[in-house]
Structure formats: C-alpha cells, structure tokens
C-alpha cells in the first residue's frame, strides 16, 4: 500500500454512460498525475495537477474527459459518453515537490460493454 487510494477499484459500465473516478493522494503531496494503461503498454500520461491547478493535459484527453482537483486535495476524473475504447486501467500518482518518486494508487479498471 503506497498511501494513494483510488475508488472504485473496478467499474463496468455500458457504452454511452458517464463514469467518475476518485483519487486520494498522499496528504503532503501537492502534485498529482492521472494515467491510462492498456494491456501490454506502459502508463500513458493524461493530465497533471500542481495543487488545484491543472497545468497540462494530454492530447489523449478528449472533450469527453475532465479532471478536477478542488482545494488541491483529492482529484476526480470523469469520462462522459463512454466508448469501448475507454476500457483501460486508470492510474493516479502523487509526488511531493522536489522529489523524484511518483507513488501510484492501485488503479481503477474500467470495462465498457
């Protein structure tokens, strides 16, 4: 257990539905990342927060994806109108200022049917 938690751990949804995932980082970590990982691939960068500010979004993050980090604490990732191609593991990681190591949560596995 790295201290980063994610909820839910698994989500099965039907195509076209909206889903929201939550990440609770390690409390003193002000930087937070979201990644998406599919089978046989490494984690793909989606977005990055420093405190409550979203500083970078990947081109992978279409208009259907939105992420927030109110008050610089927990973060949510919402996917609207899910598609089968959204099926993946969604990983959250946090890191404190000046550190090298990102601490990953266990991930949320999304299956879109």
Partner 1 sequence: RKEVEQDPGPFNVPEGATVAFNCTYSNSASQSFFWYRQDCRKEPKLLMSVYSSGNEDGRFTAQLNRASQYISLLIRDSKLSDSATYLCVVRTGGFKTIFGAGTRLFVKA
Binding footprint of partner 1 on the chain (CB under 8 A): 2, 31, 33, 35, 40-45, 48, 50, 55-56, 91, 100-102, 104-107
Nearer to partner 1, 19 or 23 (CB): 23
Name the region of 40 (left: φ>0; alpha: ψ -120 to 50; beta: rest). Answer: left
Nearer to partner 1, 5 or 66 (CB): 5
Using the 8-state DSSP alphabet, how is residue 62 labeled? -
Contact in structure between 72 and 17 (CB atoms under 8 Å): no
At its nearest, how many Å lie between partner 1 and the CB of residue 80?
A: 25
Nearer to partner 1, 28 or 101 (CB): 101
**Rounded distance, CA 103 to CA 29, Å?**
10
**What element of type H or E holds 79?**
strand 75-79
At its nearest, how many Å lie between partner 1 and the CB of residue 5?
A: 11
């Amino acid at each position: 257990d790295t201290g980063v938690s994610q909820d839910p751990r698994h989500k099965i949804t039907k195509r076209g539905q909206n889903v929201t995932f939550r990440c609770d980082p390690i409390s003193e970590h002000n930087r937070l990342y979201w990644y998406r990982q599919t089978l046989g691939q490494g984690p793909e960068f989606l977005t990055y927060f420093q405190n409550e500010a979203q500083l970078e979004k990947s081109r992978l993050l279409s208009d259907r994806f939105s992420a927030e980090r109110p008050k610089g604490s927990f973060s949510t990732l919402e996917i609207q109108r899910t598609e089968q191609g959204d099926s993946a593991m969604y990983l959250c990681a946090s890191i404190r200022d000046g550190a090298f190591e990102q601490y990953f949560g266990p991930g949320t596995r999304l299956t879109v049917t």
